[in-house]
Amino acid sequence: MVKSNLEASVGMSRKWDAREAGREVARSTIEKLKAPPNFFILFSTIHYKKHGGFQELLNGVWDILPESTPLIGGTVTGFMNNYGVYARGVTALAVSNPNMDVIIGYGKNTKRNPRKAAKQCANMIKNGLKDSKYENKFLLNLISASEIPNIPFLGRKKIYTKGFSTKILLRLFGFSQYFLQKGAGRDDEVIEELTKCLSEFNMLGGGTLDDGKNLNNFQFFNKSIFTNSIVSLGIQTKYKLDVLTTHNMKKTGIEFNITKTSKDGRIIHEINNKPALSELVKLLGWPKDFLSEENWYNTTYYFPIGFHNNNFGGEIGPRVIGEIIGESLVTVIRSKDSDASILTIDGRSLLQTIDKNFQSFPNKPEFGLISSCNTRLITMGNKIYLARDRFLNYFDEKPFIVFYVGGESTYSPKKGLNYVNMSFNSAIFWDGENKISHN
């Protein structure tokens, strides 16, 4: 057994007042460390927007956190950590270790110009770590996820089927996307660019969210609150690490051809040469007007569209529909794959996804970060505690945080990019020869 001098710690707060919660999460996280933290990662649910605001939450954190500690974070639907599973509150992970170089970066306007934002962020990371001697590289990316568009005259909705023709609605959607930055997250484009700029890094990513309403989400960078941005934490360390995506979704047998899409493949206009929405609803056997704002999660999110993930050996990956604009379907992930199917998953398979993921890591973890689709939390409800038992078993008492987000990804130079929805994505750090035996 190798004695590690890496100290990692997880803290949390369930206080309602933003400032008090900020102080408590910082105090409870760093009080267990013997040396000042190298970095501080903060995840909060959206509730503090109404209970003092996120600036106050950060002010509370900085009342306690040592000046100049690199901090990134963002809003999430919920989180799991060593203490429990929560759909309200704030949690943080901090690491203290002398054998580690750390830098943080950001890029703005991800929904308007995702590639420019990625380059801005990548340059900050590259410059900050250019003198590092450590060989193992890791990047945590938190990107503003999709938000419900704000269509002039029609307001904010997930489904726009009335009022104007599909053509006009799509133009108005474009206006909302570009000028208001309310619409598709385009986080897939951000990540693709990042992997080009920082191809030697292992990456874990997720889209910041609110509590499922998709109205707004926030990113944290040191003492600032951002919207429509990417914030990243870059680490170079002597500690070993790896990343892995698993989802375990299966085909339902409903297969079809996507016959017309937007130029970038994000918007599906036609399925089987017919208007996309009507054909999809028919294939699923749902009544014509079945989809609504209220049943959105239990319908579209439970039956994502399967596509061949060309970045990931052509494996089938799930992508969800984020918006319905007339007869067109706006998806979270771009794909020009015409060969599509409907996927689904049951509770047992959701749990097996976790086993499958952890079993691939040969060493005992020192700490872990997991980005998981928020639909997995919403689907499991209070049964999420069944999943938590698996985490406690794997991590023992080592710190971990699962943050529930939208649009999750991992990238490694060996495995390539895996950006899908409905998935479970881990970044596990370990030390030396600390082998684990999986039964």
Partner 1 sequence: MQDDPIAKVLDDLLKLDDILACMVARQNMISVMPSDGDNSFKPAVHEIWDIIHRAMDDVFNVIRSYSEVGLAEMEFRLQDFVVLFYVFHETDNALVAIVPALSNKGLIEVEIENARREIKNIMDEQENVKLATA
Site string for partner 1, 54-83 (x = CB under 8 A): -----------------------xx-----
Q: Does 373 bind partner 1 (CB under 8 A)?
A: no
Token pair listed for 301: 């999110």
Residue number with CB closer to partner 1 (131 or 294): 294
| 381 secondary structure, DSSP code | G
Return all residues near 201 (Cβ < 8 A) that are at least 6 apart. Answer: 125, 137, 138, 139, 234, 411, 413
Residue number with CB closer to partner 1 (154 or 380): 380
Instruction: Report, in Å, the least distance between residue 84 CB and partner 1.
Output: 6
Instruction: Report, in Å, the least distance between residue 427 CB and partner 1.
Output: 23
Q: Which stretch binds partner 1 (CB under 8 A): 90-98, 195-203, 240-248, 375-383?
A: 375-383
Q: Does 87 bind partner 1 (CB under 8 A)?
A: yes
Contact 353, 248 (CB under 8 A): yes
Instruction: Report, in Å, the least distance between residue 360 CB and partner 1.
Output: 27
H-type alpha helices, 129-229 = 166-175, 187-197
As separate numbers, helices (DSSP H) first and strands (DSSP E) second, the chain gives 10, 28
Range 199-258, binding partner 1 (CB under 8 A): 211-212
How far from chain centre, in Å, is Cα 361?
21
Q: Which stretch binds partner 1 (CB under 8 A): 175-183, 251-259, 308-316, 373-381?
A: 373-381
Q: Does 384 bind partner 1 (CB under 8 A)?
A: yes
Q: Does 131 bind partner 1 (CB under 8 A)?
A: no
Instruction: Report, in Å, the least distance between residue 400 CB and partner 1.
Output: 17
Of 310, 312, 410, the closest CA to residue 361 belongs to: 410
Q: Does 385 bind partner 1 (CB under 8 A)?
A: yes
Residue number with CB closer to partner 1 (65 or 387): 387
Please tell me whether residue 391 adopts helix, strand or coil conformation.
helix
Residue number with CB closer to partner 1 (78 or 205): 78
Q: Does 322 bind partner 1 (CB under 8 A)?
A: no
Q: Does 117 bind partner 1 (CB under 8 A)?
A: no
Q: How far is it, in rounded angstroms, from Cα 133 to Cα 100?
A: 9
Q: Does 380 bind partner 1 (CB under 8 A)?
A: yes
The packing angle between helices 114-128 and 187-197, to 10°, is 40
Contact 195, 131 (CB under 8 A): no
| 237 secondary structure, DSSP code | E
Of 373, 403, 411, the closest CA to residue 192 belongs to: 411
Q: Does 88 bind partner 1 (CB under 8 A)?
A: yes
Cα separation values, 109 from 42, 113, 179, 228, 326, Å: 21, 6, 10, 5, 27
| 383 secondary structure, DSSP code | G
Of 43, 119, 112, the closest CA to residue 78 belongs to: 43
Residue number with CB closer to partner 1 (257 or 298): 298
Which of 125, 332, 377, 387 is close enough to bind partner 1 by CB under 8 A? 377
Range 273-302, binding partner 1 (CB under 8 A): 294-295, 297
Which of 130, 381, 437, 439 is close enough to bind partner 1 by CB under 8 A? 381
Instruction: Report, in Å, the least distance between residue 384 CB and partner 1.
Output: 6
Residue number with CB closer to partner 1 (106 or 404): 404
Of 254, 253, 257, 255, the closest CA to residue 272 belongs to: 257
Binding-site ranges for partner 1 (CB under 8 A): 14, 16, 77-78, 84-88, 211-212, 294-295, 297, 377-382, 384-385
